[in-house]
Chains A and B, each alone.
Chain A
Amino acid sequence: MDIATFFQQLTNALSLGSLYALIAIGYTMVYGILRLINFAHGDVFMLGAYFAFYAITAFAMPWGVAFIVAIGLTGVFGMGLERLAYRPLRDSPKISVMISAIGASFLIENVGIVLFGGRPKSFPSIALFDTVVRFGSISMLSVSLFIPVITVVILGILLWIVNKTKTGLAMRAVSTDLDAARLMAIDVNRTISLTFGIGSILAGIGGIMWTMKYPQLNPLMGIMPGLKCFIAAVIGGIGNIQGAVLGGFLLGFIEIMIVAFLPELTGYRDAFAFVLLIVVLLAKPDGLLGKNQTVKV
């Protein structure tokens, strides 16, 4: 492989990794607070992309406005999802909540098929993101450059919210000990709702950037990225935002680089993440950056 192809793959890996990281954060934040795998997160990601698509095509909004509307709607949707599907089960056994999450995921997918149609749609081209940029012999779509930059900016904002603001403090408190946080007069429901909102906003941004890079939408597009990003969150150490980012980038790089260096393994691409998950769970069950938790009897 020559150096140009390598850099080409490197940028691909960087933008895929960024997208994975953005979605993985949503999983990790929700899991950190509720100890729940939000199976529907991948479908929220799909909705973000569809909202942007319809805002541009059906409502003829300029893309900037359309993106903001779509991201906002996705956030609201995530909060609504928590309200309807997870909050009533706050005190139920873990398995019930997980079944509810799986049900919600299938519901969103199938409503998506009914409303949006099962046939894939192609995302409208936006000049700013769709131009071909050349560096010497490397050429890429400009969106591949925007994705990592936007991800880093968002990550900065997110870390600021979580570590420096009062809301962030509440989030950390709830994730450490929900009952104790309630005793400290933290509005637990509001904090959880906000966490879902933020996670869904990130999924929405991820979804929009995903469809600009891989410009096809279908109602089932969220399943695979959703599963993989959950895996990314586990690899990094679930409940840990930096860990989710690390896991996302790691997964993106591994997927792209294995296919690039060993093309005969292309057919197995979707299995890499799962193999990686199992290896990590066996070797370091708390993930790369996770804290070792002992179960007290």
Chain B
Amino acid sequence: MKRNTILTIIALAIFAAAILLADSTLGRFTVRILNLSGIYIILALSLNLLNGFTGLFSLGHAGFMAVGAYVSALLTMSPAQKEMNFFLAPIVTVLRDVQLPFPLALIAAGAVAGLVAVIIGVPALRLRDDYLAIATLGFAEIIRVLITNAQTLTNGAQGLKGITKYSTTTVVWICAILAVIFMLALVRSSYGRTMKAVRDDEIAAEAMGVNVFKVKSTSFFISSFMAGIGGALLGHLITTIDPKMFTLMLTFNILLIVVLGGNGSITGSVLGALIVTILMEALRFLDMPMNILFIKTEGLPGLRMVIFSILLMAVVLYRQRGLMGNKEFSWDGFFGLFSRKDKAAKGGRA
């Protein structure tokens, strides 16, 4: 046990040093991918909490991200920036002069997204499986339509430009690591166990005295809170947001990460986020015009997403457990890989 604690501390220290050095040593493009992975880790964890740990299939993530991104962007913009953005119709007076420091705005983003989730959850969480999926998708779509039409609140379809770039490597990765630690603690707590109980058998859980609706609402709230934070960080990384960003396509990317990593595995979500984000950028050349052996091909936009769709389907059809199944990384399991003798005895912890 002691060995493991020391190893964890060493690994975290090396990781922290790497993150601190990343900005000065790596190129801008690499840093951007690194930060994007961090944000996707948060988003994947939040979807995994619902999908993998509570057994609620939600397709509404993009909606909560949109809420978070807009709240944080509007709260951190200076009045002058707001005036520049809202040229079609002036912004509502309540929001015009408000300007909060970034950490407060980030928490507000999560809180508002979570609040929206609680309100949506009252009707939606009474539904099961596919009905829940379609209802959450519907709510996300409604949120998007509302944002598009609320000209004086969100600047409508024009979106917001010139958002301050607060999502530095340090900020993103502190949030990501906090998210991982929080998830680990949550999953191992009694709350986490009731969530898993609801996932495995709702009726049995209810019979054992679990307040199913409350557990579902809590999980939905936490997940949306994280999605809101992820959305806000994304907005502060890209620096422009508009309603078209937050479609089902975005939810699909996160779902891909969760499924690829393994439904119900925190390690899996982290790995999945890294792999998918890096592949997304690495395969970007597929969309560009190519020059193979003197034959010029036109760029084929969409080819990249074809590969990702095939990847998702291949995982679902041939390896439903994804990379990690529902197992987590542990030092014992890690060393177990090298000493084959007692691999079965130790293994990864479920």
Contact = CB atoms under 8 A, between A and B. Distances in A.
A98 B59 CA distance: 11
Contacts of A270: 141, 145
A114 B123 contact: no
Given A98-B130, A99-B312, A104-B313, A278 B302 contact: no
B134 A37 contact: yes
Interface string B217-254: 00000000000000000000000000000001100100
A34 to B, nearest CB: 11
Given A106-B308, A111-B302, A274-B142, 19 more contacts: A37-B130, A85-B313, A85-B317, A95-B51, A99-B255, A99-B312, A100-B317, A103-B309, A106-B249, A106-B252, A106-B312, A107-B306, A107-B310, A111-B306, A113-B301, A234-B134, A267-B145, A271-B141, A274-B139
Contact of A89 (B131, B259, B301, B316): B316
A8 interface: no
A277 B138 contact: yes
B131 A281 contact: yes
A148 interface: no
A95 B248 contact: no
B146 interface: yes
Interface in A80-101: 85, 88-89, 92, 94-96, 98-100
B306 A103 contact: no
Interface in A254-297: 267-268, 270-271, 273-275, 277-278, 281-282, 285, 297
Interface in B111-131: 123-124, 126-127, 129-131
CB-CB nearest 8 A-B residue pairs: A113-B302, A274-B138, A107-B309, A103-B313, A103-B312, A271-B145, A110-B305, A106-B309
A94 B129 contact: yes
Contacts of A107: 306, 309-310, 313
A174 interface: no
B123 A278 contact: yes
B134 A230 contact: yes
A106 B51 contact: no
A95 B127 CA distance: 14
A88 B313 CA distance: 11
Interface of A: 35-37, 85, 88-89, 92, 94-96, 98-100, 102-104, 106-107, 110-114, 118, 219, 223, 227, 230-231, 234, 267-268, 270-271, 273-275, 277-278, 281-282, 285, 297
A275 B123 CA distance: 12
A99 B316 CA distance: 7
A273 to B, nearest CB: 8
Contacts of A104: 309, 313
A297 B55 CA distance: 19
Contacts of B301: 113-114, 118
B129 A231 contact: no
B149 A267 contact: yes
B316 A100 contact: yes
Contact of B255 (A102, A113, A275): A102
A122 B138 CA distance: 29
Nearest to A106: B309
Contacts of B139: 274, 278
A88 to B, nearest CB: 5
Contact of A271 (B123, B126, B146, B249): B146
B123, B137, B145, B302 — most chain A CB neighbours (10 Å):
B302
Contact of B149 (A94, A114, A268): A268
Contacts of B51: 95
B66 to A, nearest CB: 14
B168 interface: no
Nearest to A224: B141
Contacts of B138: 227, 231, 273-274, 277-278
Interface in B30-67: 51, 55, 57, 59
B106 to A, nearest CB: 28
B135 interface: yes
Contacts of A35: 130
B317 A89 contact: yes
20 contacts: A35-B130, A37-B134, A88-B317, A89-B317, A95-B263, A99-B259, A99-B316, A100-B316, A102-B59, A102-B252, A110-B309, A111-B302, A112-B302, A114-B300, A114-B302, A219-B302, A227-B134, A227-B137, A271-B146, A274-B141
Contacts of A278: 123-124, 135, 138-139
B145 A281 contact: no
Nearest to B304: A110
A232 to B, nearest CB: 12
B19 interface: no
Interface string B132-154: 01110111011001101100000
